[in-house]
């Protein structure tokens, strides 16, 4: 979740209700981030389920950057950047690192 504009207030509210909120302060424009993430998609490194929301994302991406909405495309570019920045290339390692981070942030919620 972006820690900008209304995002800061939303983050404060959700942190009390949902564990694991990760904030980002994106660099560059949405268009630049989409261009940086495009090779992952072009290489076939992204997979979407056959769902209505995935169809909506594809439609939004087809209209980007001139479409009415761009939030899903922007969220996808953030996810792609996070995967690329991970120290390990495997999905298992990514989620293992996330679990370690969450445990460090919320140790009492994760205790048995």
The 10s digit of each residue's pLDDT in 39-61 is: 888 888 778 888 999 999 999 99
- Which of 39, 100, 29, 21 lies closest to 70 in space, CA to CA? 29
Q: Chain-wide mean pLDDT for the chain?
A: 82
pTM: 0.65
Q: Which domain holds residue 74?
A: 7-110
Residue holding tokens 């949902």? 18
What's the structural domain count of the chain?
A: 1
């Amino acid at each position: 979740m972006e820690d900008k504009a209304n995002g800061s207030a939303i983050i404060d509210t959700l942190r009390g209700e949902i564990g694991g909120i990760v904030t980002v302060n994106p660099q560059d424009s949405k268009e630049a981030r989409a261009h940086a993430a495009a090779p992952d998609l072009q290489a076939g490194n992204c997979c979407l389920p056959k769902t209505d929301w995935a169809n909506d994302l594809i439609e939004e991406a087809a209209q980007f950057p001139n479409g009415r909405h761009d939030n899903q495309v922007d969220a996808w570019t953030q996810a792609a950047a996070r995967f690329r920045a991970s120290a390990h290339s495997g999905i298992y390692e990514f989620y293992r690192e996330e679990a370690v981070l969450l445990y460090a942030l919320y140790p009492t919620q994760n205790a048995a």
